[in-house]
Amino acid sequence: MKKFLYKVIGMSLLTIGVLGLSTFINYMLSNYDDSLRMKKNINTLILGDSHTKYALNDNILNDTYNLSQNADSYFDSYLKLKQVDKINPQLDTVFLSFSQHNIHKCIENRWLLNPAHLRDRLKLYTPFLGAEECLFLLEKRPEEFITGLFNQIQYPINFLFNNDDLFGGYDELEHNILKQEIENQKKNGIRQEYKSFNDAPLELKYLKKIVKYCNENNITLILINPPLHKSLQNKQDGLYKFYKKNFSNIPFLDFSKIAMKDSCFGDMVHLNPSGSKYFSKLIKQEDLFNINHARAHNFLHE
Amino acid sequence: MLFNSIDFALFLPIVFVLYWFVTNRNLKLQNFLLVVASYLFYGWWDWRFLSLILFSTIVDYSIGRKLGVENNHNKRKILLWASILVNLGFLGFFKYYNFFLDNFIAAFSFFGAEIKANSLNIILPVGISFYTFQTLSYTIDVYKRKLEPTKDLIAFTAFVSFFPQLVAGPIERATHLLPQFYKKRTFDYSKAADGMRQILWGLFKKIVIADNCAEFANQIFNNSADFNGSTLVLGALFFTFQIYGDFSGYSDIAIGTSRLFGFDLMRNFNFPYFSRDIAEFWRRWHISLSTWFRDYLYIPLGGSRGGTWMKIRNTFIIFIVSGFWHGANWTFIAWGTLNAIYFLPLLITKNNRNHLDTVALGKYLPSAKEAFSMLFTFGLTVFAWIFFRANSIKHAFSYISEIFSTSLFELPKFDDMRSASITTMLVLIFVLAEWFGRERQFALAFKESNSMKESILRKIVYLIIIYSIFVFGGTQQDFIYFQF
């Protein structure tokens, strides 16, 4: 029995040892990951999900670095923010996607708490996890957390054969389904996250952590709500109440009601390349990332 | 509780420690611990159905005791039939009630008679087909006086509910498993180490092979009208490896877990996809069920004694019943019938026992003839699996007709080509591992040696498998055979 127990414990320790070594190597590698490194003259970071990813073209807004990624929850953004800040000391401003779906319970279940989503994200983000995040995942999604720990072994491959889009970045939206979505909305009603509002407690928790992190590290945080199709513009009461209740001291640039033609949208919530070009140019020309200018143009939600 | 879950990863070491360190001095206590653990294991899924297992246990225990003292032939027969009726009654109600009702209604309406009856919303208790057959084997063997009826209720309860094989087999014979509960178990290092290896290999089969193949098999079978012939062929192949990885993986975990507790379960799979004819396939696939039907149905029906027509009749009966055992759907009956048709030429020409050894024994590669025979048999098996997996007979035929269309020559299409390629690569690596391990009990059954080099190599292989399970593991799916 002793021999058996020694062997089982030995094998378990070996597995954990390899895991620890791979985490350490990945942690070191992530400090040199170019996809997380901003140019020296850029000190503004854009984080968030597909809304900011497809809306804000950082080739036009060339004093910003867009690292938004499809379906990034605030938990994902928090991990990314900490790592980007660590290797980019010049970072001083963060624009963060803040739309109704970001803080809606149904999206929390679809993204943050979705096992497949977590497994996919942890392949990349495991080296960025702190003790608190590990405990959070162990409590909420233990199987995905453990799988994620093992999955990070793939990170060096990603690092070596660097895929620029791995952590996010501006991209051109490929689909064009606005007409179908309008038809669909007529038939089946408005999409769930704009129909009724149930706030997402875990997303709230990590959004608050982002706020706290920015405060502690002298980073200006600005919430941003990209343009929405006109049929959804007046369905955001949940968002505004949530903002007023929790984050009214954080600047909030609300571009959701900006008048844009249907031809600018790939679907009801995402801008297509021409929409993104128009929107990014507008921000650049009017200097709308400047709070005072945004206020003057009525884009600052107060 | 699923074998591939964190719950089980915590449950197993706790039971192991209690079994070998706390209850090891008292056999009854050790058996009682196994009963408690097994009921907890089963109740984790749905505690309400524990009463069903308990009822079956008490009925068969009592009938067994009565059979032990009863010498009147007619009364013994009545006791046997009482056990069969109770056990098959439960099985029939939970598994086949709606099937028979729907088919009776359809048959009567075909002749113009309208019958009004409502189907019931019945939940199928997990593993009912497995433990029903296991308890039946006890009563039948006691009836045939092959086995002394047990007086030890705890041992009998542990035999019926033994958690490693409770929900998906191997279906054990009372003559083999029950006596193991009477004897004091001593810890055997090589048995336990082998058990751990078998668990690891079973997890690999289930999580890496079956769960990944399941994603594509489900996608293709559930939307078969959207795919071309070549993709449908791949869908059938993915299902072929899904069902093998799933079920043989479960059996490996069950056998390996039992070995940790000092028990030997019967082998359930013996590299079936390397069979050279269908008869060999059926000696290697779900062995515990095939031999159960052979011993308790085929032989009592007359087996291969008697004339040709008798043999044909018995063969059809056993294959059709075997198909029907899997589920209340005509697709399973079609699958069973198809296998009977495959088997028949071998039986009639008395070639059904040609291949009793392992293919290409002691060689790296098979001969051209062996390779052709294996591929042909594999092709027949894949074809039959289409009926097994299809939602209905109509679906199976439309699936097959699309395969045999010009779209067979188009390139396969998948939404996620990268994942499909990775899964295909994993399956190929798995087939190679199985091929080179086919002379062993299972592919990973290494022999212990004191050589440092071999020990390091073994550990590297274990690490690669452990990491593969996490890195390449597919989305968690239920074990297919739970539904049977």
Q: Nearest CA of chain B to the CA of A138: how many Å?
A: 11
A14 contacts B463? CB cut-off 8 A: yes
Helix (H) or strand (E) holding A65: strand A64-66
Phi, psi of B4 (to 5 degrees): -95, 50
Flag if B187 and A1 touch (Cβ within 8 Å).
yes
Confidence of residue A268 (pLDDT cuts 50, 70, 90): very high
**Could you report the predicted ipTM of this complex, rounded to two decimals?**
0.77
Q: Taking the domains of chain B in order of start, what are their residue ranges?
A: 6-186, 190-276+355-483
Which among A1, A14, A153 has CB closest to B459?
A14
How many Å apart are CA B276 and CA B281, to the nearest integer?
Answer: 7
Domains by residue range for chain A, with CATH: 2-296 (3.40.50)
Residues on B contacting A at a C-beta cutoff of 8 Å? 5-6, 20, 187, 189, 192-193, 196, 459, 462-463, 466-467, 469-471, 473, 475-476
pLDDT tens profile A287-296: 999 999 989 8
Shortest CA gap B462–chain A (Å): 9
Q: Which of A8, A143, A153 sits opposite B467 (nearest CB)?
A: A153
**Predicted local confidence at residue B427, as pLDDT:** 96
pLDDT in tens, A121-172: 888 888 888 899 999 999 988 888 888 888 877 777 767 765 667 789 999 9
Mutate to test the interface with B, among A2, A4, A16 (most CBs of B within 10 A): A4
Q: What is the C-alpha separation between B423 and A290, in angstroms, rounded?
A: 50
Beta-carbon separation of A18 and B463 below 8 A: yes
* Ramachandran quadrant class, B358 (left: phi over 0; alpha: psi -120 to 50; beta: rest): beta
Q: What is the average pLDDT value for chain A, to the nearest integer?
A: 89
Q: B189-203 vs B452-472: helix axis angle to the nearest 10?
A: 30
A150 and B192: CB-CB below 8 Å?
A: no
Residue pair A100/A195 in contact by the 8 Å Cβ criterion: no
N-term to C-term CA, chain A:
70
Write out the catalytic residue numbers of B: 326
Alpha helices in B275-367 (DSSP H): 278-284, 287-293, 308-326, 330-348
CA–CA gap between residue B173 and residue B130 (Å, rounded): 11
Give the residue from B6, B191, B196, B470 with the most A CB atoms within 10 Å of its CB, the best one to mutate: B470
Chain A residues in contact with B22 by the CB 8 A cut-off are: none
Q: ω into residue B366 within 30 of 0, thus cis? A: no
Tell me the pLDDT of chain B (484 aa) as tens digits.
Answer: 888 888 999 999 999 999 999 998 899 999 999 999 999 999 998 888 899 999 999 999 999 999 999 889 999 999 999 999 999 998 888 877 777 777 778 777 777 777 776 766 777 788 888 999 999 999 999 999 999 999 999 999 999 999 999 988 799 999 999 999 999 999 999 999 999 999 999 999 999 999 999 999 999 999 999 899 999 999 999 999 999 999 999 999 999 999 999 999 999 999 999 999 999 999 999 999 999 999 999 989 887 777 888 888 999 999 999 998 888 889 999 999 999 999 999 988 988 888 889 998 889 899 999 999 999 999 999 999 999 999 999 999 999 999 998 888 888 888 888 889 999 999 999 999 999 999 999 998 887 777 888 889 999 999 999 988 888 887 666 666 666 6
Kindly compute the dihedral angle of the four CA atoms of residues B45, B47, B51, B54, in this order, to the nearest 10 degrees.
60
Residue that the structure tokens 């078969």 belong to: B224
